[in-house]
Amino acid sequence: MDVADFRASLAGDTPGTSLPPPLVALWWMGKGDWNKAHEVAQSQDDSPSAWVHAHLHRVEGDLSNAGYWYRRAQRPAATEPLDVEWTAIAEALLADA
């Protein structure tokens, strides 16, 4: 699956069962469901989920909390537009999936 396929899957009602949790969280954010995305990201204790978690708090506008999660993910705090970051995270996670 590439980013175009991942974006196209947002037309569906559910993310499907083959995606790992960080991509599920990102999928829900792509659907505009911050709460569901946060629930999934928060339930995991790994670097990819922490990266998505950081993005979610950045979307929320809580930059201090986002900074904490970027550090947990061992990633620099993002400064690009949110949609650019979402795509970059999706590309990276899909390449590792």
**pLDDT tens-place string over residues 5-63:** 999 999 999 997 899 999 999 999 999 999 999 999 999 999 999 999 999 999 999 99
Q: Would you say residue 19 lies in a domain?
A: no
Q: How many residues does the chain have?
A: 97
Q: Would you say residue 15 lies in a domain?
A: no
Query: What is the pLDDT, as a whole number, of residue 17?
Result: 80
Query: How far is it, in rounded angstroms, from Cα 24 to Cα 40?
Result: 7
Number of domains in the chain: 1
Kind and range of the H or E run holding 45: none
Q: Would you say residue 16 lies in a domain?
A: no
Q: Would you say residue 5 lies in a domain?
A: no
Q: If 0-12 CB within 10 Å is exposed, 13-18 middle and 19+ buried, where does residue 32 land?
A: exposed
Query: What is the pLDDT, as a whole number, of residue 53?
Result: 98
Domain span at residue 81 reads: 24-96
Q: Would you say residue 87 lies in a domain?
A: yes
8 Å CB contact between 34 and 60: yes
Read off the pLDDT of residues 53-79 as tens digits, 9 standing for 90 and up: 999 999 999 999 999 999 999 999 999
Query: How far is it, in rounded angstroms, from Cα 54 to Cα 65?
Result: 7
Q: Would you say residue 13 lies in a domain?
A: no
Q: Would you say residue 17 lies in a domain?
A: no
Per-residue pLDDT at 97 exceeds 80: no
